[in-house]
A and B are shown apart, each in its own frame.
Chain A
Amino acid sequence: MNNEIYLDNSATTKCFPEAAELVCRILTEEYGNPSSMHHKGVEAERRITEAKQILADILKVNSKNLYFTSCGTESDHLAIAGCARANRRAGQHLVTTVIEHPAVLETMHALEEEGFDVTYLPVDGDGVVSPEAVAEAVREDTILVSVMHTNNEIGSLQPIAEIGRLIKEKNPKALFHVDAVQGFGKAQIYPKRMKIDLLSASGHKIHAPKGIGLLYVADGVKIRPTLPGGGQQSGLRSGTENVAGMAAMALSAKMLYDHLDEDVDRLYALRERLIGQAQAIEGVHVNGKEGRGSAPHVISLSVEGVRAEVLLHALEERGVYVSAGSACSSNRPHLSETLKAIGTPKELLDATIRLSLSVMNTEEEIDAAAAALAELIPFLRKYTRH
């Protein structure tokens, strides 16, 4: 499909052909089980070692601190629930924000049922949590703080390094988890420098296949596995390794990080280009901070008088794929918690679409999408409920 303009990269990305080819090769040729003692097993194990090394170099950490999971959700869950349960004696208190992904929020809710005490911090009108507020919330019995790197719905960036520093000043024993599912591949993230103890990332958001996630666990972190089993990956994540997914995730990450700075510049330019044209349309508002204050790839637009779902399908008819609010929750009738948290007026809650970019998008695509918006919004506004 040549006239397909895919602007829903925060939902998932198109796999890099190189990564897809690598997956195919590993599945059909190097298909051994890394636990096998023969050559096929050794070959597969080598793939994992290489993949971990590539990712470790990107994060500037030791490869022995990296674990693969099945997805971002599993990484978040393992990090939060695994640490909470392992550190229960040290305390029962957890801190997070109201705009986290459901993978984090639902894990927190589950832990509350187990008796943990969770503080949910608000965000400002741009969707940013205050580092001082995080520090203030940290208590002596706080065992873990979880703050996302990049918000999936409006692209707000959290001051991770500052939050990390303040947490450790207040309570050096409190662990810091960062959900970087949207940030990994779009920003330089260095867990050690940023005082991050646990970091989650996902393959399919960075042009690798679905079904592979990454978790960084710093030295000395007490964490309990959530899946009992055969003891793979040092016992933290049992289950036969998804070798192809791991190798593909590493390859895609490398392809992105090899020229990250230029790509990020280009993404910001595309983002500005789209926002500029969108703001010229009457009654269109951009959510979140301008310029480099937001993620380079997420654009959240509230459109007065047009239902997001209708606009989404109208764009779809032009071959432009976007999402309404956040794709993960758009099948449910309830409205976005993130949009509510940043104070979006009620009438705009179901009038907000998200366009999310990737390195595969071009200026022509952005212009075509903006032109479609400029044409469709006034047309759709003509036909509304009375």
Chain B
Amino acid sequence: MKYESFLIKYAEIGIKGKNRHLFEEALVNQMKLALRRCEGHFAVTRSSGRVFVDALEDYDFDEVVDALQHVFGITGICPMVVCRVLPIEELAAEVVKFVGSEYPDRHHTFKVHTRRLDKNYPLDSMQINEELGAAILDAYPEMKVDVHQPEILVTVEIRERVYLYSHIIPGPGGLPVGIGGKAMLLLSGGIDSPVAGYMVSKRGVRLDAVYFNAPPYTSERALQKVVDLAQQIAKYSGTIWLHNINFTEIQLYIYEKCPHDELTIIMRRYMMRIAELLAKKYDCLGLVTGESIGQVASQTMTSLAVTNEVCTLPVFRPVIAFDKEDIITMSKKIGTYDTSILPYEDCCTIFVAKHPVTKPVAEVIRRHEKNLEEKIDEMVERAIETDEILIVEGSGVRKYQGN
């Protein structure tokens, strides 16, 4: 049977009180954006606490479901068959046909659940449930009723038309993007940071991202890889401004002036400082990193504390307590894994010492950073001035040309 319409289920939005319409509006906007990538025309409407997608012409089912599965805030997508409001006998025939085509093997327990929003319909919900249930049993004797834990819940909504559905395709959950402000993601080419960006964005937060580029130590392909990752995240989060920061000069300067076993930690402190300056410049309310406790020397509890102290904005670390395996599973799910494992070196790894400090002492690090006093401020300034911005969308990438 052909699905002409989708019922969109959302969970948390429903409980947000007076702000509810804001959330619903954001959800509808994000759905419209996502559906723009699909062939065909669609109407997205809100009606008495529900959001519907109506296909106005032929469309590809898989493509539409995939697009909706990229919209945060959606918990379930129910493909629906639609018919006119019919007398009960004829309606029963439609429902029997629907169940027959949805469940060809028929050996299931079921329950009919009717929502009668059209109060003019001659029977009430209970009566309709009974009539339709009986019709299904007549047509398919191998099916059984179970009102407590049915395998199939056949939902019938009677509005200006009748909507039938029973499958719920899971959505990504979360909150619609655009209601939570914006954050600056420190995006490397690795597995963790794209997942971190995805997770924060899932809470309704828009993203900008910063990438630290270190030519000639990193290649143009490493940058392309990061752009590809940003593009994959943008399919969920919407447009990302990707700031490409040239970090070579700073990195070499640190190498010259500071102990090599502290290189990574000092480098990360400067990355955080630059990310925060950019965040403030572009109205972000926090930083996002893919750090996870103990994963590498610069992510021990002590190292994280030493890195953290250079920031005043909150730093969100959504994968902080995840095992690597879990992060990998998630990156596969969101489609960033295959890109993340491409073998181009990123700037975090090029000068890694054989035995980097795992228990850095903030005071010592601060003292060694004093060796950088002479030139570091102008270098940081130059890095931000030479920021190359790419505007990354799920559908394409373009250079930011200035105001």
**A residues at B contact (CB < 8 Å):** 309-317, 331-333, 383-386
At the interface, yes or no: B260 with Cβ under 8 Å from chain A?
yes
B217 interface neighbour in A310, A315, A331, A332, Cβ under 8 Å? A310
11 contacts between A and B (CB under 8 A): A309-B345, A310-B217, A310-B350, A312-B216, A314-B216, A315-B216, A317-B215, A383-B255, A385-B351, A385-B352, A385-B354
At the interface, yes or no: B252 with Cβ under 8 Å from chain A?
yes
- Residues of chain A lying within 8 A (CB to CB) of residue B219: 309, 313
- Residues of chain B lying within 8 A (CB to CB) of residue A333: 343
Q: Mark B281-313, 1 if CB is under 8 A from A, else 0.
A: 000000000000000000000000000000000
Cβ of A17 to closest chain B Cβ, rounded Å: 27
Contact: B252 with A383, CB < 8 Å? yes
**A332-B343 contact, Cβ under 8 Å, with A385-B353, A385-B354, A386-B354:** yes
**B residues at A contact (CB < 8 Å):** 215-219, 221, 252, 255, 260, 343, 345, 350-354
- Residues of chain B lying within 8 A (CB to CB) of residue A332: 343
CA distance A331 to B255 in the complex (A): 28
**A316-B216 contact, Cβ under 8 Å, with A333-B343, A383-B252, A383-B255:** yes
**A313-B217 contact, Cβ under 8 Å, with A333-B343, A386-B260:** yes
Query: A311, A315, A332, A384: which has the most chain B beta carbons within 10 Å?
Result: A384
Contact: A386 with B353, CB < 8 Å? yes
- Residues of chain B lying within 8 A (CB to CB) of residue A316: 216
Cβ of A372 to closest chain B Cβ, rounded Å: 12
CA distance A316 to B215 in the complex (A): 10
- Residues of chain A lying within 8 A (CB to CB) of residue B353: 385-386
Contact: B354 with A313, CB < 8 Å? no
Contact: B351 with A313, CB < 8 Å? no
- Residues of chain B lying within 8 A (CB to CB) of residue A317: 215-216
CA distance A384 to B353 in the complex (A): 9
CA distance A313 to B248 in the complex (A): 13
CA distance A315 to B221 in the complex (A): 16
B215 interface neighbour in A313, A383, A384, A385, Cβ under 8 Å? A313
For the complex of A and B, list the 8 residue pairs with the smallest distance between their C-beta atoms, beginning with the closest: A313-B216, A314-B216, A333-B343, A386-B260, A386-B353, A310-B217, A383-B255, A313-B219
Cβ of A190 to closest chain B Cβ, rounded Å: 41
Closest to A376 in B: B216
Cβ of B256 to closest chain A Cβ, rounded Å: 8
- Residues of chain B lying within 8 A (CB to CB) of residue A309: 219, 345
- Residues of chain B lying within 8 A (CB to CB) of residue A386: 260, 353-354
CA distance A312 to B215 in the complex (A): 10
- Residues of chain A lying within 8 A (CB to CB) of residue B354: 385-386
- Residues of chain B lying within 8 A (CB to CB) of residue A313: 215-219
CA distance A6 to B216 in the complex (A): 18
CA distance A312 to B219 in the complex (A): 9
- Residues of chain A lying within 8 A (CB to CB) of residue B252: 383
CA distance A312 to B221 in the complex (A): 13
Closest to A315 in B: B216
- Residues of chain B lying within 8 A (CB to CB) of residue A312: 216
CA distance A33 to B219 in the complex (A): 43
CA distance A331 to B343 in the complex (A): 8
Cβ of A385 to closest chain B Cβ, rounded Å: 6
Cβ of B262 to closest chain A Cβ, rounded Å: 12
Cβ of A66 to closest chain B Cβ, rounded Å: 38
CA distance A309 to B260 in the complex (A): 22
CA distance A311 to B350 in the complex (A): 13
- Residues of chain A lying within 8 A (CB to CB) of residue B345: 309
- Residues of chain B lying within 8 A (CB to CB) of residue A310: 216-217, 350
CA distance A206 to B253 in the complex (A): 44
Closest to A334 in B: B343
- Residues of chain B lying within 8 A (CB to CB) of residue A385: 350-354
- Residues of chain A lying within 8 A (CB to CB) of residue B215: 313, 317
Instruction: Please give 7 more A-B residue pairs, beta carbons under 8 A apart, in addition to A331-B221, A383-B351.
Output: A310-B217, A312-B216, A313-B215, A331-B343, A333-B343, A383-B252, A386-B354
CA distance A384 to B350 in the complex (A): 8
Cβ of B266 to closest chain A Cβ, rounded Å: 14
CA distance A332 to B217 in the complex (A): 17
- Residues of chain A lying within 8 A (CB to CB) of residue B352: 385
CA distance A331 to B352 in the complex (A): 22
CA distance A79 to B301 in the complex (A): 61
Query: A310, A314, A317: which has the most chain B beta carbons within 10 Å?
Result: A310
CA distance A309 to B218 in the complex (A): 8
Closest to B215 in A: A313
- Residues of chain A lying within 8 A (CB to CB) of residue B217: 310, 313
